Structure 1
Amino acid sequence: MTKIFKTFGLILIITSGQIMFGQTTFNYKDDFKKVLLKTNDLNDSLSYEKLLKRFYVNDTTMTNFEVLALLIGFTDKKEYKPYQDINTEREIYNLNGEKKYQEALDKGIKFIETHPLSVKVLFEIAYSYQKLEKEESAKFYSYKGQRIFEAMYFSGDGTTIETPAFALGPADGQDFIYKVVDADIGTMGSGRDKNGNFIDILEAKFEDGKRMNLYFIIQHATDKMFAEKSIEEELKEQNKKKKTNK
């Protein structure tokens, strides 16, 4: 039996527990650092600032690769603190769950001023607007979330540990499964690909009882987490030395 899911404009065909995605030319090992360098070059067409301006206005001519480059570019920004940001994202999600739509909206809009590519918050903002009966604004922010999911979809088919989908945040794979694959999440684990990159392994549970693992690469997120910890440890060590020298 074949199921076709059409969510936010994405089409995934699931046959006998397998998901068939489109082909991609992106390879994390070979391309991540190359793309990151380009996003830091103001004269390059993949300049982060140039791409972000287009993303802000929902430029429909942006390719999936350009949106992916934008996501990669954000991993180099000081605001990118994926494991800390989860807390704020959940707070906004919970506010909507408590029907505090205006409060969720206000907090969400403030958050994306510094985190414009938080797919969870973009959809929460859209949801808030929808509940506040502002359909055009809801569509505007839904589209942004859609483009990020399409970029993830483009980056890798996610069906094996060697073909993972790129995820900016450690919880983005979960949202992808809920919103795009239209499945629940079973077991959650992690592993590494043959190059040692950290992979989130999430089990998708379908209504018909079928299950399959999907893979999301988040090496950049773990790199940032350990970098932040190293900085904090260094600061603590410096403070200890200052106290000793007093």
Structure 2
Amino acid sequence: MKKYLFLFLLFPLSILAQKNFTYKKDFDLILKESKDKKSDLYYPNLLAKYNKIDSTLTDKEMLAMLISYTEDKNYKPYQDFNFGRKLYKLNEESKFAEVIKTGDAFLAKHPFDLKTLFEVSYAYHQTNKQQEADNYLQKAGFIFGAMFYSGDGMTIENPAFALNPSDGQDFIRKFIGAGIGTMGSGRDENGYFMDMLEAKFDNGETHTLYFIIPHATKKMFVK
């Protein structure tokens, strides 16, 4: 079943070239700013904008929130994506009210979980509450925008930031409208862990995209 009838972005990857974020240089600086009440990147203030779906929220601000969340006690990336899979199954069983109730409860503590955002959006769509469905898609769009802002992902030197290990797959499927081919992992010259995912396009082109996730791997065995 094709569950999502949209694409945030669809154009040749060859035109992507921005480099607004360098993990080694910027991650700790942004994390520090996100804790500073006087900073424009102060996490609680930005989270309020995100929850209100404030259109003035910038990609940099969204990226700062993702970085700040890596120190949240609820951030357990290698466990979190299993919740989205459970919601997917419930949606397949048309248990939309349960998806909305449990999904919203999960998002209260895991506000940037892409899979949950998509599943709750779908449940609202299926219950003819399109505005609510669109709100969750907009939040997902904020996250994709921050990932794209962080790096084009075309080379290991310019990877895209990903909060969870499955976010790169969602980025490829739902943001750039491609399929997933070969999946692997590796490290850059600084030893930072990378997900390496092959994007397969309808025209036959393939590109390997790189997603940087050392913050996630540090939480791999957190219970």
Q: Larger RCO: Structure 1 or Structure 2 (Cα < 8 Å, ≥ 6 residues apart)?
A: 2
Query: How far apart, CA to CA, are the structure 1 residues paired with 2:18 and 2:206?
Result: 23
Are 1:60 and 2:58 matched, yes or no?
no
- 5+ residue gaps, structure 2, are 1-5
Q: Which of 194, 203, 206 lines up with 2:198 in the alignment?
A: 203
Are 1:214 and 2:209 matched, yes or no?
yes
The residue correspondences of 1:111-190 to structure 2 (distance < 5 A) are 111-190=106-185
Q: CA deviation at 1:22?
A: 5.2
**In the alignment, what sits opposite 1:243?**
none
TM-score by length of 2: 0.93
Identify the structure with the greater strand proportion.
1
Query: How far apart, CA to CA, are the structure 1 residues paired with 2:162 and 2:44?
Result: 20
Query: How far apart, CA to CA, are the structure 2 residues paired with 1:134 and 1:214?
Result: 35
Q: CA deviation at 1:225?
A: 2.1
Query: How far apart, CA to CA, are the structure 1 residues paired with 2:138 and 2:166?
Result: 19
Letter in 1 for 2:199: A
Secondary structure (helix, strand or coil) at the match of 2:108 reads helix
**In the alignment, what sits opposite 1:36?**
31
Are the equivalent residues in 1 in contact too, given 2:19–2:158 (CA < 8 A)?
Answer: no
Query: How far apart, CA to CA, are the structure 2 residues paired with 1:114 and 1:131?
Result: 24
**Residues 35-74 of structure 1: CA deviation (Å, up to 9, x unaligned):** 0111122232211111101100011111100000011010
Point out the more displaced range, 33-42 or 22-31: 22-31
Are 1:110 and 2:105 matched, yes or no?
yes
Are 1:45 and 2:40 matched, yes or no?
yes
- 5+ residue gaps, structure 1, are 1-5, 233-246
Q: CA deviation at 1:210?
A: 2.0
Are the equivalent residues in 1 in contact too, given 2:18–2:152 (CA < 8 A)?
Answer: yes
Q: CA deviation at 1:19?
A: 3.5
Provide the alpha-carbon RMSD of the alignment: 1.5
Identify the structure with the greater helix proportion.
1
Considering only CA atoms, is the larger Rg found in Structure 1 or Structure 2?
1
Secondary structure (helix, strand or coil) at the match of 2:11 reads strand
Letter in 2 for 1:214: L
**Residues 212-243 of structure 1: CA deviation (Å, up to 9, x unaligned):** 111111111001225x3xxx7xxxxxxxxxxx
Secondary structure (helix, strand or coil) at the match of 1:84 reads helix
Query: How far apart, CA to CA, are the structure 2 residues paired with 1:22 and 1:103?
Result: 42
* Identity over aligned pairs, percent: 50
Secondary structure (helix, strand or coil) at the match of 1:7 reads coil
Are 1:88 and 2:83 matched, yes or no?
yes
Letter in 1 for 2:7: T
Are 1:20 and 2:36 matched, yes or no?
no
